[in-house]
Amino acid sequence: MTTVPDRPAPAPTGRPPVVDRATWQAARDELLVREKAHTREGDAIAAARRRLPMVEVDGAAEVVGPDGPVPFPDLFQGRAELLVYHSMWYDGAPHQGQCEGCTFNLWHLRDAVYLHARGVSSAVLTSGPWDEVAPFVEFMGYAQPWYSVRGAEERIATEEGHLSCYLRDGDRVFLTYSTTGRGNEPADGTLGLLDMTPYGRREAWEDVPEGWPAAPQVGSPVGGHGAPICWYWRSDADGNAAWGPTSRPVPQWTRPGATPVDTLGRHAPSH
């Protein structure tokens, strides 16, 4: 089962104007000037990021992985730098009830081969108990190393939903950078690709021309009112953006056994 519908989607009503190739090229060249300025500003911000100070964290802190407790410096795997993503966790929730946003981020971070080639290790942290986390990791098919940091969050200065960078000097470990929210977007290549398309991400906050397809309206997780949400968070079995008892984080529909269920399982049912 996948998130690709078995029927073609109807053609959206809004479309860009049709022009000749020369007119298109002139408009494209004008936008390219702004794109290049954006790239140069991004380079300047990255340069400033490299000049940030750092703070020492507890290199003696232990985290729990498939082989039991290990010292935090072991996550560097002998390299000098470490990039981690701290995935949110709902205690006691089944796979489909875990964080849809974190699932989205982690789906884009499955292969670290190019990070390793540049001397950077990567790992996923979570505050969930390891006996709950391990089956989820197996179900999702994640290849990256996962560790439970429950009880050690403050000691290693990590927070849920954050991408963080660490530097190791022997047994000493330093936090150099951390970001969250839209700061995580460099990890999510899908979003950058969608930004190149005429209809973009189809999220409610976007600036789009009049007549463009609206962001999906789905049931609120707390009430019954329709509300626009991020398209990628959850979907039903047909790939439609949805938030309800039979929806899942989108990547889960590619996993064996990911069938519609009766409840997200995050909270006890009300009576």
Instruction: Give domain limits for the chain.
Output: 55-180
Specify whether the CB–CB gap between 206 and 229 falls below 8 A: no
Instruction: Kindly give the pairing relationship between strand 120-126 and strand 146-148.
Output: parallel
| Superfamily holding 55-180 | Glutaredoxin (3.40.30.10)
Q: Residues 130-141: pLDDT tens digits?
A: 999 999 999 999
Q: For the whole model, what pTM was predicted? A: 0.88
Structure tokens of 255?
């996993």
With bands split at pLDDT 50, 70 and 90, how would you rate the model's confidence at 228? low
Q: Residues 69-85: pLDDT tens digits?
A: 999 999 999 999 999 99
Task: Give the C-alpha distances (Å, rounded to integers) separating 248 from 101, 124, 217, 252.
Answer: 11, 21, 16, 6
With bands split at pLDDT 50, 70 and 90, how would you rate the model's confidence at 269? very low
* Residue 248 to residue 139: CA distance in whole angstroms: 13
Q: What's the rounded mean pLDDT across residues 20-46?
A: 98
Evaluate the CA torsion angle 178, 183, 184, 188 in order and state its sign.
Answer: negative
Alpha helices in 18-169 (DSSP H): 21-50, 100-107, 113-117, 130-140, 153-156
Residue 241 has pLDDT above 90, yes or no: no
Q: What's the rounded mean pLDDT across residues 17-42?
A: 98
